[in-house]
Amino acid sequence: MSIDFIKSIYYEILSYFVPQKLKYKIEGKCNKCGKCCNQIRSYGLKDNKELRLMQFFLPWYKRFYIRGNDKYGLILGCKYLSENGLCTVYNKRPLLCRNYPAKTISFNGEMIDGCGFKVIKKDFKDYL
């Protein structure tokens, strides 16, 4: 089990209990393209074994499957995404999905191409 994997579980759990501190300003709105449910960056999960462990510790991860990987780790898809890009369990989707895009995004504010949201980094004076 890698350090990155332990960190990814730690931050995942933390996100459910620690109130969001505003780190980014988010503008725009969702155009319901569904791309974010099909290109989920895992930030720390390196392989199927780690995904299975994550699914054991955090059961809502059982909806995700591996679609590929990049320099951050696995890229996941969700089995509840319909062909027309909508969530088929919208009213029961986990907090992870309800909070997206989070104002504490830890990946330098990069959004998926074509996403209707725009992430604006805050200046130092915004915290004063």
Q: Kindly list the residues in this chain that would bind ligand SF4 in the complex (CB under 6 A).
A: 30-37, 63, 78, 80-81, 87, 89, 93, 97, 112, 115-117
- DSSP letters along the chain, please? --HHHHHHHHHHHHHHHSPPP--EEEEE------GGGTSEE-SS--SHHHHHHHHHHSGGGGGEEEEEEETTEEEEEETTB-TTS-BTTGGG--HHHHTPSPTT-SSTT---TT-SEEEEEPPGGGG-
User: Please, which residue, 24 or 80, has the CB nearer to ligand SF4?
Assistant: 80
> Closest separation between CB of residue 19 and ligand SF4, Å?
21
User: Please, which residue, 98 or 125, has the CB nearer to ligand SF4?
Assistant: 98
User: Please, which residue, 35 or 46, has the CB nearer to ligand SF4?
Assistant: 35
> Closest separation between CB of residue 43 and ligand SF4, Å?
15
> Closest separation between CB of residue 9 and ligand SF4, Å?
18
User: Please, which residue, 29 or 125, has the CB nearer to ligand SF4?
Assistant: 29
